[in-house]
Amino acid sequence: MKVVFDATGYVLVVTGGASGIGRALSLAMAKVGARVVVLDADASGLEEIGAEHRNVETATVDVSQRAAVFDVLSAIEARHGKIDGLVCGAAIQPRTLIHEMDPEEWLRVQRVNLDGVVWCYQAVVPGMIKRRRGNIIAFTSGLATQGWPQASAYASTKAAITAFGKSAAKEISRYRVRFNVVSPGVIDTPQYRAANESEDNEKWKATLGVGSPEDVVGPLMFLLSDAGTMTGSVLSRDIAYPREEWD
């Protein structure tokens, strides 16, 4: 069964959208008519994706900074009159042993990965409630339940996002605003490559498989669409199914 998406008139904000899954989603949504605003701390990455499609706008922001997040998202809503969807993809994943981790590194991971989602949520939800329409997606990870050596900070934020998303969804469902969490599986992104050197990479390839960012785009677009009526859900893509074997 073929699915065709039409996002004409849809305003989508994607944090961490200059690379990886966020980048793939942003370009896919732009191609089906959405106005996509990509937020990232990577200025060069933003310049590249901004040149890819006329429907893509960009802005530099550190999502750990609440005031900056509110300023940027308020400006987007004022410019476009609404924000229909928010996808929170900004995250960092330093690899450090717990007992050797500097306190500032621990706090930085929490501020970007978890606080960044909370600040973005706080900034967009009032408008969505007022319009009685909106859609938010955040990312968890398989590491949230199974853990991984040197990934305690990252894994803990991803576990927290699941709890946050389920709680938030229960608060806003009465206003027809949805919040879902996606666990995309092992995906070949710049962050993945930086956090998983040759030995770990080979382990993932031999077990769950390593997918591409484009593999996650379809499920995300479904959740953003009117057909994706669930909320408070965790959509998990645990195994990478090779694209070359689909046909």
**CATH code of the domain covering residue 120:** 3.40.50.720
The sign of the dihedral angle between the CA atoms of 238, 244, 245, 247 is: positive
- Considering the domain boundaries, does residue 245 fall inside one? no
Confidence of residue 56 (pLDDT cuts 50, 70, 90): very high
Domain that holds residue 140: 11-240
- Considering the domain boundaries, does residue 1 fall inside one? no
- Considering the domain boundaries, does residue 106 fall inside one? yes
- Considering the domain boundaries, does residue 4 fall inside one? no
Q: What is the mean pLDDT of the chain?
A: 90
- Considering the domain boundaries, does residue 3 fall inside one? no
4 in Cβ contact with 22 (< 8 Å): no
90 in Cβ contact with 39 (< 8 Å): yes
Query: What percent of the chain stands above pLDDT 90?
Result: 74
Residue among 44, 12, 9 at smallest CA distance from 27:
12
Q: Give the separation between CA 51 and CA 106, rounded to whole angstroms.
A: 35
- Considering the domain boundaries, does residue 6 fall inside one? no
Catalytic residues: 154
Residue 195 has pLDDT above 60, yes or no: no
Residue 13 has pLDDT above 90, yes or no: yes
Q: Give the pLDDT mean for 235-245.
A: 66
Phi (first) and psi of residue 175, to 5 degrees: -100, 10
- Considering the domain boundaries, does residue 64 fall inside one? yes
Q: Give the pLDDT mean for 196-213.
A: 58
pTM (2 decimals)? 0.90
Confidence of residue 202 (pLDDT cuts 50, 70, 90): low
Average the pLDDT over each of 7-21, 83-97, 153-167, 198-212 and give the range with the smallest value. 198-212
Residue 235 has pLDDT above 60, yes or no: yes
- Considering the domain boundaries, does residue 2 fall inside one? no
Q: Which residues contact 218 (CB under 8 A, 6 or more apart)?
A: 3
Residue 215 exposed, middle or buried by CB count within 10 Å (0-12, 13-18, 19+):
buried
Structural domain count of the chain: 1
